[in-house]
């Protein structure tokens, strides 16, 4: 075990460089000792990933993980621990069995996964692989009546190119300095770049043609009752990045069984067929759907506040708990969930009695559109402003919608999120909230020796803090070292426990616990930026 020490110099800096925002050095030392030397982060991550398995929305794996989290939080001593419904999601789904291999020109087991929310093959199937070439909808006519029970592959896919860049990355001092030097964007800035006249229409038309071909092909394959469709997955070196192949809605239209295949195996089959060679393949896929309870749930737990005047105010932390299905969702987002649970454990272990209530939320269905956090925010804090949308051929005009607040909106001090892989915290994105810069800089000072020192005014997107930011609430995502998140683990079959970095999780949980402590104890809630207004209508 690597032991981290808290230097006297860092303690002194807490009260000098940022004296306007005091830091409780004695508590920080307790938090560091508990978080860095007595960590349970990897054990928590083990139960979230290896024990619970993939955690696709509304799947049995997510339910196992949620039940475990509720039990663990109660054992930890958290209060008001419960599963809280956020709204209707739809069907759950899981893979019960999967096997696929080519048998001609020779036997070769292929690297692949069924696409989420697609059906199985109803037992072992074996057939020639049929190559489908279709540049237009009319090209599909030649295949009608010939595909029943067949395994089909589309004539698409470019050769894999070797990656000439390192996969595992940590931010350099120069990169962090550049982030810290970022300037606030002017109101209305940050929009899409201007395109040459007509280019947008051309691109839109091409996309519409491709969509029409895809829709017609999928309809034909269902009507033909094919045995299995092979799809080229993004990725290389045996890693593939997965996705959903069908809707999770209760009334979703039927689709064909579909297998997402690693690039090396897909292109191998494709080269053989293009070269006129016969390819035979067998597959046995069983998947199950779960529709008895279509609601989505978040896991909620608290350390109640103790100050008579402040206990109704709340500091929240969280991360999304759901994952994709090809791996066990370790870096996305078992890591963030484990860190947040560990931060709560640290605070309980040091017997912290907060002034404000501290609440953890483990969100579901982030991967489908931040559904869990958006549903929670709508229930507790209000609904965000929305831009007007002009009428189309199929939809009426939608007027602009003003932000609507609920009483709890005033009670939230801050929400902290973690969802960018296993990489350690290096600082905080301010989401344009300049008023918290000096506060956060003070709170980071004791962790400079852990590499956490960067504050950037910049925004970051794609995860649950946005549900809070859209409501004008102080919602923040931490800056994390990229590691191999984007190159290897994000939504891939390689997103497993083995990709977690123990020291990074320890550091992150320790920093989060300290931020939560100081947010809960300060005299005032964190300052907020200007309330959002409806964006201009898109033309």
Per-residue pLDDT tens digits for 130-149 = 999 988 888 899 999 999 99
Output the pLDDT for position 206.
75
CA separation for the pair 244, 252 (Å, rounded)? 13
pLDDT the model gives residue 13 = 42
pLDDT value at 156 more than 70: yes
414: phi then psi, degrees, rounded to nearest 5: -165, 155
- DSSP assignment of 140-160: GGGGTTS-TT-EEEES--PPP
User: Residue 537 carries which DSSP code?
Assistant: P
Stretch 235-239: mean pLDDT: 94
**454-490 per-position pLDDT tens digit:** 999 999 999 999 999 999 999 999 999 999 999 999 9
pLDDT tens track for 337-356: 999 999 999 999 999 999 99
> In terms of Cα–Cα distance, which of 1, 25, 2, 3 is closest to 445?
25
Does residue 212 surpass a pLDDT of 90?
A: no
Q: What are phi and psi of 206, to 5 degrees?
A: -65, -40
Number of CB atoms found within 10 A of residue 314's CB: 22
Asked which of 174-188, 274-288, 361-375 is least confident by mean pLDDT, the reply is 174-188
Q: Which CATH class is domain 93-163+205-289?
A: alpha beta
Beta bridge partners of 154: 132
Q: Helix or strand or coil: residue 219? A: helix
Task: Give the homologous superfamily in CATH for domain 8-89+294-386+402-521.
Answer: Zn peptidases (3.40.630.10)
Task: For residues 323 and 78, give the distance between their C-alpha atoms in angstroms, rounded to a whole number.
Answer: 25
- DSSP reduced 3-state for 103: strand
H/E run at residue 130? strand 125-132
- Residue 12 makes CB contacts below 8 A (sequence gap 6+) with none
Q: Where does 416-526 have alpha helices with state H?
A: 437-444, 465-469, 502-521
Which CA distances in Å does 350 have to 36, 217, 406, 506, 513?
13, 60, 34, 16, 11
62: Cβ contacts below 8 Å, ≥ 6 apart: 52, 55, 56, 92, 321, 322, 364
Please say whether the dihedral angle defined by the alpha carbons of residues 322, 327, 328 and 334, taken in this order, is positive or negative. negative
pLDDT digits (tens, 9 = 90+) for 58-112: 999 999 999 999 999 999 999 999 999 999 999 999 999 999 999 999 999 999 9
**pLDDT tens digits, one per residue of 12-40:** 444 434 447 999 999 999 999 999 999 99
Query: pTM score, two decimals?
Result: 0.93
Domain boundaries along the sequence of the chain: 8-89+294-386+402-521, 93-163+205-289
* Range in 110-119, 208-217, 285-294 the model is least confident about: 208-217
Rounded to an integer, the average pLDDT of 393-402 is 78
pLDDT digits (tens, 9 = 90+) for 313-329: 999 999 999 999 999 99
């Amino acid at each position: 075990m690597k032991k981290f020490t808290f230097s006297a110099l860092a303690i002194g800096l807490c009260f000098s460089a940022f004296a306007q925002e005091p830091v409780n050095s004695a508590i920080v030392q307790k938090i560091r000792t508990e978080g860095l030397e007595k960590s349970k982060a990897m054990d928590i991550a083990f139960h979230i990933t290896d024990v619970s398995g993939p955690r696709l929305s509304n799947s049995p794996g997510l339910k196992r993980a949620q039940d475990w989290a509720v039990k663990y939080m109660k054992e930890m001593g958290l209060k008001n621990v419960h599963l809280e419904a956020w709204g209707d999601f739809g069907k759950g789904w899981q893979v019960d069995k999967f096997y696929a291999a080519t048998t001609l020109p020779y036997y070769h087991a292929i690297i692949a996964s069924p696409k989420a929310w697609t059906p199985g093959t109803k037992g072992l199937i074996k057939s020639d692989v049929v190559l489908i070439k279709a540049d237009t909808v009319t090209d599909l006519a030649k295949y009608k009546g010939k595909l029943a029970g067949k395994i089909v592959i589309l004539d698409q896919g470019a050769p894999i190119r070797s990656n000439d860049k390192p996969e595992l990355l940590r931010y350099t001092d120069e990169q962090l300095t550049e982030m810290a030097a970022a300037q606030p964007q002017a109101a209305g800035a940050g929009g899409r770049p201007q395109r040459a006249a007509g280019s947008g229409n051309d691109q839109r038309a091409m996309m519409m043609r491709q969509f029409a071909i895809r829709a017609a092909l999928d309809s034909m394959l269902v009507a033909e009752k094919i045995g299995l469709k092979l799809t080229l997955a993004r990725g290389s070196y045996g890693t593939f990045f997965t996705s959903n192949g069908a809707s999770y809605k209760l009334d979703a239209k039927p689709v064909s069984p579909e297998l997402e295949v690693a690039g090396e195996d897909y292109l191998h089959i494709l080269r053989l067929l293009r070269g006129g060679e016969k390819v035979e393949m067998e597959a046995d896929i069983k998947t199950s759907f779960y529709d008895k309870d279509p609601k989505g749930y978040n896991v909620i737990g608290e350390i109640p506040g103790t100050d008579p005047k402040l206990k109704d105010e709340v500091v929240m932390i969280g991360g999304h708990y759901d994952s994709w299905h090809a791996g066990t969702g370790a870096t996305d987002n078992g890591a963030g969930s484990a860190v947040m649970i560990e931060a709560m454990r640290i605070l309980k272990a040091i017997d912290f009695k907060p002034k404000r209530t501290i609440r953890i939320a483990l969100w579901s269905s982030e991967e489908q559109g931040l559904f869990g956090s958006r549903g929670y925010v709508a229930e507790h804090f209000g609904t965000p402003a929305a831009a007007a949308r002009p009428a189309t051929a199929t939809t009426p005009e939608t007027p602009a919608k003003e932000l609507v607040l609920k009483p709890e909106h005033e009670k939230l001090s801050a929400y902290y999120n973690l969802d960018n892989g296993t990489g350690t915290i290096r600082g905080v994105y301010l989401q344009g909230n300049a008023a918290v810069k000096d506060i956060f800089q003070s709170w980071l000072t004791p962790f400079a020796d852990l590499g956490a020192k960067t504050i950037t005014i910049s925004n970051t997107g794609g995860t649950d803090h946005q549900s809070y930011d859209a409501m004008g609430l102080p919602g923040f995502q931490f800056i994390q070292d990229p590691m191999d998140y984007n190159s290897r683990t994000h939504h891939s079959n390689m997103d497993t426990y083995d990709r977690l970095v123990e020291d990074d999780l320890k550091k992150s949980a320790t920093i989060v616990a300290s931020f939560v402590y100081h947010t809960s104890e300060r005299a005032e809630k964190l300052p907020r930026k200007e309330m959002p207004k409806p964006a201009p209508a898109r033309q």
